[in-house]
Amino acid sequence: MVLSPADKSNVKAAFGKIGGQAEEYGADALERMFAAYPQTKTYFPHFDLGKGSAQVKGHGKKVAAALVEAANNIDDIAGALSKLSDLHAQKLRVDPVNFKLLGQCFLVAVATRNPSLLTPEVHASLDKFLCAVGTVLTAKYR
Amino acid sequence: MVHWTAEEKQLITGLWAKVNVEECGAEALARLLIVYPWTQRFFSNFGNLSSPTAIMGNPRVRAHGKKVLTSFGEAIKNLDNLKGTYAKLSELHCDKLHVDPENFRLLGDILIIVLAAHFAKDFTPACQATWQKLVGLVAHALARKYH
């Protein structure tokens, strides 16, 4: 699955509009993922996952920063996220199915916070982008 | 046996009461065909699906989206018997329509996003969790009679 020039443009524009609020979108996506897919909490036994958790907010900020970095380097996502890819393969080893779940929740976060941003075309491009990020992060698993 | 809490039932029926089934159904199906273009394989006789604009405006897509979501409404009236509600439709999708059940999961996720965009802040994490559970169970019920 390849990101077309239109996809890249849509993704860059979307993150441009999200701007500084990306951190909140990240935290929102995580909160939604833990609620909708409780099995994802198994990766965070060391976290307080209660409402308003500072740890979840902090982690959401990290996740968002990575997505922004990928969007800003959309012609070479693998390069931009290489270290994160190593981390996920060697240390975190989050099962690949979970990236789809977080992707869904990120799209829902965008939909609830900025519905007008999520035209069908942008929806499609963002979905592809999030898949691409998940693929990169699991690329070195075996 | 599926268990719904009173809160979950309220989150479902309360939201559903405010849903425009025709608009929401049309949008959900259109987005499915746009975001996951391979799903167009089931609709080769629907006419012009050549672009997102064509798909969104296609009257057959709109009509079929309304049909699909109306059926969803039936499920909501029978939350305690999803299997029974969808038994015949399950057989139909297997024997006549030959639809891979994965497509039900894809449509369910798209529906969630359409609802999220419509209800914005009201589509809380708890609301989303309940609806993800519902769409998952509907997908499961629709796949149940496959053989």
Give the domain ranges of chain A.
Answer: 5-138
Mean pLDDT value across residues B113-137 = 98
| Segment among A25-29, B1-5, B27-31, B130-134 with least mean pLDDT | B1-5
Helix spans in chain A (H): 5-18, 22-36, 54-72, 77-80, 82-87, 97-113, 120-138
Answer whether B24 touches A (CB < 8 Å): no
Does B1 map to a domain? no
pTM score above 0.90: yes
Which residue among A37, A104, A111 places its CB closest to the CB of B117? A111
Chain A residues within an 8 Å CB radius of B117: 111-112, 115, 118
> Can you give the pLDDT of all 142 residues of chain A as single tens digits?
799 999 999 999 999 999 999 999 999 999 999 999 999 999 999 999 999 999 999 999 999 999 999 999 999 999 999 999 999 999 999 999 999 999 999 999 999 999 999 999 999 999 999 999 999 999 999 9
- In terms of DSSP H, where are the helices of B43-98? 52-57, 59-77, 82-91
**Number of domains forming the structure of chain B:** 1
For domain A5-138, give the fold.
Globin-like (1.10.490)
User: Chain A residue closest to B35 (CA)?
Assistant: A124
Chain A residue numbers touching B109 (CB-CB < 8 A)? 104
Q: Could you give the CA distance from residue A31 to residue A48 in angstroms, rounded to a whole number? A: 11
* pLDDT classification of B60: cutoffs 50, 70, 90: very high
Q: Where does the pLDDT of residue B141 fall: very low under 50, low under 70, confident under 90, or very high at 90 and above?
A: very high
Using the Cα atoms of residue B66, residue B141, residue A34 and residue A71 in order, give the sign of their dihedral: negative
CB contact under 8 A, B113 and A123: yes
Is B125 an 8 Å CB contact of chain A?
yes
**Using CA atoms, how far apart are residues A72 and A115, in angstroms rounded to an integer?**
22
What local confidence, expressed as pLDDT, does residue B2 receive?
A: 87
Tell me the residue range of the domain where B68 lies.
6-143
Each residue of A115-140: pLDDT tens digit? 999 999 999 999 999 999 999 999 99
Residue B106, both tokens: 């894809």
Is the ipTM, as predicted for this complex, more than 0.95?
no
CATH number at residue B32: 1.10.490.10
DSSP three-state, residue B139: helix
